[in-house]
């Protein structure tokens, strides 16, 4: 290798190292940034045109801590997340992680819905209210859910299957098989599989 070629190789390697260093700084800087928001409203569109209010955390009637592996499908794309759900009489808290990096934490209590998310991972299509609603439909007592539903909506629990109806049309179905839970929302065309982990 002549001197000119050697110099070009050294310059190329140096540029790669600089780019990698700048990317590392960028990633570290972004991971330090969080977006915090607070929402006072507890209302949510349970269908495209029907609203309901989220149940208060106390409606669960106890406490729960659950670690989940979540495999979701939406719009033809697949996403795998880890979820940590904590329920008390005063608060619901949900933490979502991807590849062991926290992407969102949601807290819901008397002050409203508070959440923060990391800008490292695009989660703009994950709305905190809908995460909370799905958890309530999955775990909260059916009698409490029915009391919160608007007219024309009913919630049935039959053994290991829970179904949300609009009239006679099933729009959400939740099927439990041991520690595996299949959640299907035909109204909004998404589904996911929850595998509850041993705490």
Q: Looking at the domain assignment, is residue 93 inside a domain?
A: yes
Total structural domains in the chain?
A: 1
**Closest of 59, 32, 56 to residue 42, by C-alpha:** 56
For the cut 50, the answer to whether the pLDDT of residue 88 exceeds it is yes
* pLDDT above 60: residue 5: no
CATH number at residue 56: 2.50.20
**Weakest-pLDDT range from 15-19, 22-26, 44-48, 65-69:** 22-26
User: Rounded to whole angstroms, how far apart are CA atoms 119 and 103?
Assistant: 8
What's the average model confidence in pLDDT over 46-75? 89
68 found inside a domain: yes
Return the percentage of the chain with pLDDT > 70, whole number: 73
DSSP, collapsed to helix, strand or coil, labels residue 67 as strand
Determine, yes or no, domain membership for 81: yes
Between these two residues, 16 and 56, which has the higher pLDDT value? 56
Task: Answer whether residue 134 is part of any domain.
Answer: yes
In a domain, 77, yes or no: yes
pLDDT at site 24: 33
The pLDDT score that the predictor gives to residue 12 is: 43
Instruction: Say if residues 193 and 71 touch (Cβ distance below 8 Å).
Output: yes
Whether 12 maps to a domain, the answer reads no
H helix or E strand, kind and range, residue 20: helix 3-31
**Which residues span the domain enclosing 191?**
35-197
> Measured between alpha carbons, how far is residue 106 from residues 76, 93, 135, 137 in Å?
26, 6, 12, 17
pLDDT digits (tens, 9 = 90+) for 158-189: 999 999 999 999 999 999 999 999 999 998 88
79 lies in some domain:
yes
Reported as a single tens digit per residue, the pLDDT across 103-162 is 889 999 988 898 888 766 555 567 888 899 999 999 999 999 999 999 899 999 999 999
Top-confidence residue, 22 or 182: 182
Give a yes or no: residue 97 inside a domain.
Answer: yes
* pLDDT at res. 27: 36
Q: Give CA–CA dist 75/160, Å, rounded.
A: 27
Query: Is 15 a residue whose pLDDT tops 70?
Result: no
């Amino acid at each position: 290798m002549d001197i000119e070629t050697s110099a070009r190789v050294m310059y190329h390697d140096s540029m790669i190292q600089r780019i990698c260093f700048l990317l590392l700084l960028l990633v570290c800087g972004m991971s330090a940034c969080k977006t915090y928001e607070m929402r006072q409203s507890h209302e949510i569109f349970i269908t495209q045109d029907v609203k309901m209010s989220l149940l208060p955390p106390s409606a669960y009637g106890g406490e729960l801590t659950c670690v989940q592996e979540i495999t979701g499908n939406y719009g033809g794309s697949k996403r795998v997340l880890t979820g940590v759900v904590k329920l008390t009489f005063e608060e619901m808290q949900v933490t979502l992680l991807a590849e062991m990096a926290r992407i969102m934490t949601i807290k819901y209590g008397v002050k409203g819905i508070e959440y923060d998310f990391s800008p490292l991972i695009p989660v703009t299509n994950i709305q905190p209210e809908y995460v909370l609603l799905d958890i309530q439909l999955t775990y909260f007592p059916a009698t409490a859910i029915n009391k919160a539903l608007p007219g024309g909506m009913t919630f049935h629990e039959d053994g290991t299957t829970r179904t949300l109806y609009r009239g006679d049309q099933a729009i959400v179905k939740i099927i439990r098989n041991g520690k595996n839970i299949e959640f299907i929302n035909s109204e909004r065309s998404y589904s996911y599989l929850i595998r509850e982990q041993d705490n």
